[in-house]
Amino acid sequence: MKNSGKSSKTTAKKAGRPAGTGFITELDRYLFGQGTHYKIFEKLGAHPRTYGGKPGMYFAVWAPHAKSVGVVGDFNGWDPEASPMKPLEDSGIYEAFIPGLGTGELYKFAITTKDDKILFKADPYAFSAEFRPGTASITTDISGFSWSDEKWMEKRKHTEPEKAPMAIYEVHLGSWRKASRPEKDGYYTYKEAAHELADYVVKMGYTHVELMGIAEHPYDGSWGYQVTGYYAPTSRYGGPKDFMYFVNYLHKKGIGVILDWVPAHFPKDAHGLADFDGEPLYEYADPRKGEHPDWGTKVFDYGKNEVKNFLIANALYWVENFHVDGLRVDAVASMLYLDYGRSDGNWVPNQYGENKNLEAIEFFRHLNSVLTGHMTGAIMIAEESTAWPGVTKAPEEGGLGFTFKWNMGWMHDFLEYMKLDPYFRKFNHNKMTFGITYATSENYILTLSHDEVVHLKCSMINKMPGFPDDKFANLKAGYTFMMGHPGKKLLFMGQDFGQYHEWDEKTALDWYLAEEPQHRDLLKYYSDLLHIYQKYPALYRLDSDWNGFQWINANDGDRSIFSFIRRDETGKKNLLFVINFTPMARDDYRVGVPKSGTYTLILDNEHGLYKRGEHAFSKRSVKSECDGQPYSFAYPLPAYGTAVFRFN
């Protein structure tokens, strides 16, 4: 970007102050001030318009503390005085219309503060932004995309997410694959990624893709969690309509799209939201509330209507304009607790002397009510790492109104168990059983996310103990337990084929490993699990209902074997899971079952999924008490053995 941070002389004709264009009405200003203008992004920002019979570009920005504001760009030599904006009474909004200006132009707002400093700020509502290290916004028209995902969108309206299968593939587009070209660091474009990613996801059996870091951000190392352009799909992979193509294509292939969304905090970059008009505007003014000491970022002011409107409208923008199926809300706990990451004496209690952020609680209830009410079938997912009650309960019942919550407790216990040498697992058996005791308290997603395979935590395969053969066998057993456990599923990219090294956003996954025998076998096995998961409603219909799960033996700690049943409402095609977490084979393992009948093996760790026509064996239960059940049958359970049986 040329001279984007400096004032310069220009020969361009200076635009006069408009008397008021009428593009932002009194009603717009009122709703924005109330925090209920859910399409404010159609008014603030930059939009192609016709005014006085002349086509051009209309600009509007909220900067109530500014002394004056101007639009700057290549079109006027970045001169703060060339295109002044007019304040609209009692709203803090400035507007300007520049005739003859089209799309594709770099621009910023030149904000003169009360102490006569000039700040060059990117547009908070910009639909497109410059590729890093550039920091300007780009005039863009996002209208006119031809959607063809009607079948998906109609199906979504009639889907009950809690009772539907959800196996999420978490993806960082910039490092999923790389193209052999120098432009933009070899990033795949949205269009390129759409085709290859869809093929992979369909073949594997995932139901959804969750994308990290799609909103514009300046620093790759933030992974997209320090956002400067909340309304702009990152230019790393293309423009807004390219991202629309991505979502549209995945929908046509039957794949849902979830975005990571960050309303918790934002960075202090000079062109961003921090001290936007010379004073705290989007953030709390008191640094004890307005700054995250651990992250070096600013905290949104959830008590300010215009700020809440900015965020709630942004959530609706992604779901409505880009047909996104849901948002995974990052760092929810940091928003709910006033003392999150803060030492004693460095946080401000609420009016009751407590550490709960009452404004953030109200924000979540408002947000989730509006989004799930406006967009039927869209989901909201909370990354909430504490035991906050009622995260997925309705606001009218005292909850926060999310559809799902990441089960961080299960993830922690599961990984601690899986990292143990098998000898010591018998002393930690409860780490794998404890999750069931609270499985119905929320609508959960079991997550093995990017956060668990970075910062010296090791990849999933290298968390496993033992020699290579043991590592792969352990991971098969762990993934089988995860697939059988109540809750939707999420796995980060590369962990399905056993990526060795930790995830690095700068490099692509080691896809060559997926062709090596052990990795290929693990990948096929995880795909088999995914296909079983989608095929059998017992694995997803009653995730939050005690009727959907039954322990057969939760107490076989000495042998580190777990057995349990999953059911749906019909009682047909129930599944029995048996999982051995030691290298000791049990040649005549006997498992208790509740009824007389035939139990057919449909998957094990040696063969994977038994397809139709293959000769998987069946066992007829006999009247012989075992595991507290009236019937039982015996079969050979190998080292690290997994077995899934179907029965009616």
Instruction: Return the active site residues.
Output: 330, 383
Collapsed DSSP state (helix, strand, coil) of residue 198 = helix
Identify whether the C-beta of residue 159 lies closer than 8 Å to the C-beta of residue 533.
no
DSSP state of 510: -
Phi-psi region of 347 (alpha: psi -120 to 50; beta: other; left: phi over 0): beta
Distance of alpha carbon 202 from alpha carbon 181, whole angstroms: 27
- Give the Cα-Cα-Cα angle 272, 266, 398 (nearest 5 degrees): 140
Question: Among 477, 369, 376, which residue's Cα sits nearest to residue 420?
Answer: 477
Q: Nearest 5°: phi and psi at 495?
A: -85, -15
DSSP state of 373: H
Question: Among 552, 581, 548, which residue's Cα sits nearest to residue 564?
Answer: 552
Cβ-proximal residues to 427 (8 Å cutoff; 6+ apart), any chain: 557
Helix (H) or strand (E) run with residue 602 in it: strand 598-604
Neighbours of 423 (CB within 10 A): 11
Cα–chain center distance at 305: 25
Structure tokens at 581: 């977490």
Structure tokens at 475: 């991971």
Distance of alpha carbon 320 from alpha carbon 374, whole angstroms: 9
Distance of alpha carbon 319 from alpha carbon 589, whole angstroms: 50
Question: Among 527, 513, 472, which residue's Cα sits nearest to residue 639?
Answer: 472
Identify whether the C-beta of residue 258 lies closer than 8 Å to the C-beta of residue 379.
yes
